[in-house]
Each structure stands twice: as C-alpha cells, then as structure tokens.
C-alpha cells in the first residue's frame, strides 16, 4: 500500500512538472515556421488581444446572467429613540367618548426589526432588452480583431525573419571582402617595404581596407538590430546570450522557395471587411434597441418576510414577530424621456450611414491595394530573377579575373574594379530579395486582413 502511494505521488509530481514547463524555442536553428508559431504563444501584443477577446466573452456571459431574477435577502435592526405619535378620535378606542375628544397613538415600539426575502424581475426593460444582441456583436468583432492581430503578427515576424536573414547574408559577404582587403593591404605593404610598389598603391590598398572595414561595422550593426527586433517580436528577452545563440535555418533562397510555393489569393472576404460589416450590423442593432425605449417597462417585485416590534430587544420571542409579504407588478410609461430618445435614434441612424460608407471605403481601398500589390509582386519577381542572374555572372567574372591576375594577364586595379562591381551587384541582389519577400508578405496580409 505504501509503495503504491509513493508511485502515485511520483507520477503526479512528474505530470505537474511537465505541465509547468514553458515551451522553449531552439534559437540555434530557428526556422521561419518555428518563429511564427512561437510568437503566437509568447508575443505580449497578441496575448493582450486574446485577453480582450476573453473579456468580451465574459461580458456576454454577465449580460445573460443579468436577465435572471434578482433574489436577495434584507435585514435591519432599529432602536427607535423618539417614537412618533398621531392624534386619532377617542371614539375609535372608547365608543362612549365624546366626538370631539382626541387620543394620541404611537405607531411603533422602542425596538423594531425586519428580515425577508426579496425578488425583482424585469419582464420587459427597454434599457436592457437589446444588450445581449449588442454584446454578441461585440464578441464577434473582438474575435475578428484577434484573427487580424494574428495575421499582423505572422507578417511582422516573417518580415523580421527576412530582415535578419538578409542582414546576415550581407554581413557574411562584407566579412569575406574585409578579409580579402586586409590580406591585400598587408601584401602591398610588404611590397612597398621592398620598394616594389609606389606609396600611392600602398595608400590605395589601405583606403580600400578601411572602406571595407567601415562597411563591416555598419553591416554588423544592422545585423545586431535585426536580431533584436526578431527576438522582441517572438516575445523573447533580447539579452546577449540569446542574441549570440540566434541562428537562422532558412536563407534567402529557401525563403523565396517557401513563399513562392504558397497560395496568396483567397476566396474568402478579408477580415477587415468582415469586421466593418459587423460594425454596420452593430449600429443597426443599437438603433433598433434605441427605438425600444419608446415602449413602457414592466417589472415584477415581491417580498416575503417578517417584522419584529417590542419594548425590549428579544428577537427570540416569536410572539413579537409578525408576517409581511407582497407581490407587485409595476408599469412605467415614458413621456418626457421620449424627446431625448428621438434625438438618440437620429444620432444612431447617422452612425449607421457612417459605418456603411466606411464599409464601402474599405472595399474600394482593398481592391485598389490588391491591384497595386499584385503588380508590385510581379515586378519584384522579375527584378529578383534579373539581379540573381547578375550575381551568378559577376561571380563567374570574379573567378575569371582572379585566374587572370594569378597568371599576370590583368592588373590588380582591374580586379579591384571587378570586386567593386561585385559589391554593387550584391547590394542590388539583396535589395531585390528584400523587396520581393516583403511584397509577398504584404500581399498575403492584405488578402487575409
């Protein structure tokens, strides 16, 4: 028995430890899909939107419960210091008393108390009749906001991942160039000491190295900032250890393959358009609910309890407790308030028209943006292919020039000019890749949101 208890306790502890562990992310080999998935569980902005959706759900539950009868208990205890008296004809107590004789009667006792069960129920209340339908629409809008926030976060994290990948590619290329210019500068300086090259050649080599080193520092700063942005969007604290651990599994070419193989256009209405349609519906419901305020309200109330009266405080004396109960049906017909209701209805009808115009504006803007983004994506595709082709050609040229330089068929200055063209071609290629991948992300976000 004792052994079974120990095993059961160990199993419970192990289960709780597993459940309590926070989901971790592998920063050493981070893929785009893992980054997006992790951000949806840890991004503070998205979690805040999910909490707002939960608040809207609880608000709807609260509104539904408000339609139930309100049942409560009341109780009080009074010490009547001055008991009021009222004159009455003495003949009511003593028939033989003269007609003009008066007596004074007290209508209370030094101690009094009361306790009972109360119930109130709005059979129809124009103020609250439409709250449930309004809150249901608010919940739908909040749910759409959560889906919009999710797509926004996906796009933001994807863009940050792309920025980080391009910054890393740029840094790797500039690092290789800096290493080459450093070796070249040392070689020419050695030749200068042996008086085989001029001072101008030596200074030019050193200037080329300095320029490459400056580009290296700039690229390193860009890469550092892009890493910080990516970790922040993931919901990860961007400390030094995590920045050093971060390694991306997807390069530019793999990102291009993943995105170009996906389906961009969707047959569903975008979320922003659906959200605006819900706002139109909500404004119509508010106008309808405002019209109900012209109607009378009908409520039911009841009480079941007892009252205590006595000269001394002896609540346990059942002979001093007297029953008391009632059921009341109340009708309230608005008269002067109908004037303000008319103004409210007019204002809400104008709000309806505003929401409808906003919906029409959303539709028109989306069609225009969609056409522009499709054209931009096609242009970026063509530009990317051309710049990629140029990179392959310039790489071939570098290999050929280096072979010629080693054989003495070309000058060092010509090879350096070719290296400069390679740098320009690389920058153009990276810019084309950035434009293409960003255009795809924007188009995907536009079709969904």
**pLDDT at res. 231:** 92
Collapsing DSSP states into helix, strand and coil, what is residue 239?
coil
Angle at 182 between CA 178 and CA 183, to 5 degrees: 120
Distance CA 158, CA 150 (A): 12
**pLDDT at res. 330:** 93
**pLDDT at res. 264:** 62
323 CB-side CA count, 13 A = 3
Distance CA 42, CA 194 (A): 62
Report whether 192 contacts 199 (CB < 8 A): yes
Three-state secondary structure readout of 137-173: HHHHHHHHHHHHHHHHHHHHHHHHHHHHHHHHHHHHH
Question: pLDDT tens digits for the chain (449 residues)?
Answer: 444 444 444 444 343 343 334 567 888 889 999 999 999 999 888 999 999 999 999 999 999 998 899 999 999 999 988 888 888 887 777 788 887 888 877 778 889 999 999 999 999 998 888 899 999 999 999 999 999 999 999 999 999 999 999 999 999 989 988 998 888 888 888 888 888 888 888 888 889 899 989 999 999 999 999 999 999 999 888 888 889 889 998 888 888 888 877 666 666 678 899 999 999 999 999 999 999 989 999 999 999 999 998 888 888 888 888 988 999 999 999 888 888 889 999 999 999 999 999 999 999 998 899 899 899 999 999 999 999 999 899 888 888 888 887 777 777 777 777 888 888 888 899 999 999 999 999 998 888 87
Backbone angles phi, psi at 328, to 5 degrees: -130, 140
Contacts of 339 (CB under 8 A, 6+ apart): none
Q: Terminal CA-to-CA distance of the chain, rounded, Å?
A: 60
Comparing CA positions, the residue from 361, 159, 375, 349 lying closest to residue 272 is 361
266 CB-side CA count, 13 A = 12
């Amino acid at each position: 028995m004792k052994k079974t208890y120990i095993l059961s306790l160990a199993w419970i502890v192990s289960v709780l430890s597993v459940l309590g562990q926070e989901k971790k992310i592998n920063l050493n080999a981070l893929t785009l899909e893992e980054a997006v998935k992790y951000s949806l569980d840890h991004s503070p902005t998205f979690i805040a939107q999910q909490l707002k959706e939960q608040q809207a759900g609880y608000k709807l539950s609260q509104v539904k419960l408000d339609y139930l009868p309100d049942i409560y208990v009341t109780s009080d205890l009074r010490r009547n210091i001055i008991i009021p008296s009222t004159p009455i004809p003495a003949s009511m107590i003593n028939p033989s008393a003269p007609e003009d004789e008066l007596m004074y009667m007290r209508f209370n006792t030094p101690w009094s108390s009361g306790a009972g069960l109360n119930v109130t129920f709005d059979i129809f209340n124009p103020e609250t009749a439409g709250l449930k339908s309004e809150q249901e629409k608010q919940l739908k809008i909040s749910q759409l906001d959560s889906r919009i926030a999710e797509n926004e976060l996906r796009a933001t994290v994807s863009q940050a991942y792309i920025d980080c990948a391009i910054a890393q590619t740029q840094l790797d290329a500039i690092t290789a160039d800096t290493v080459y210019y450093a070796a070249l500068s040392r070689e020419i300086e050695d030749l200068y000491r042996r008086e085989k090259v001029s001072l101008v050649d030596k200074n030019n080599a050193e200037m080329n190295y300095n320029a490459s080193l400056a580009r290296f520092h700039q690229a390193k700063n860009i890469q550092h900032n892009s890493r910080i942005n990516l970790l922040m969007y993931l919901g990860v604290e961007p400390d030094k250890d995590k920045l050093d651990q971060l390694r991306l599994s997807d390069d530019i070419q793999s990102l291009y393959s993943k995105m170009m193989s996906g389906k961009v256009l969707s047959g569903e209405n975008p979320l922003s358009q659906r959200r605006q349609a819900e706002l139109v519906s909500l404004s119509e419901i508010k106008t309808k609910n405002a019209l109900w305020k012209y109607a009378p309200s009908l409520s039911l109330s009841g009480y079941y309890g007892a009252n205590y009266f006595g000269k001394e405080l002896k609540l346990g004396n059942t002979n001093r407790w007297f029953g008391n109960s009632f059921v009341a049906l109340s009708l309230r017909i608005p008269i002067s308030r109908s004037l303000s209701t008319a103004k409210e209805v007019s204002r809400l009808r104008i709000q309806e028209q505003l929401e409808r115009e906003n919906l029409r504006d959303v539709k028109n803007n989306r069609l225009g943006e969609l056409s522009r983004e499709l054209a931009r994506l096609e242009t970026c595709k063509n530009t990317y292919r051309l710049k990629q082709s140029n990179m392959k050609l310039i790489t071939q040229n570098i290999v050929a020039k280096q072979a010629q330089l080693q054989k003495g068929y070309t000058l060092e200055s010509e090879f350096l000019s070719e290296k400069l063209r390679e740098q320009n071609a690389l920058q153009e290629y990276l810019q084309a890749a950035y434009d293409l991948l960003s255009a795809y992300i924007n188009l995907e976000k536009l079709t969904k949101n």
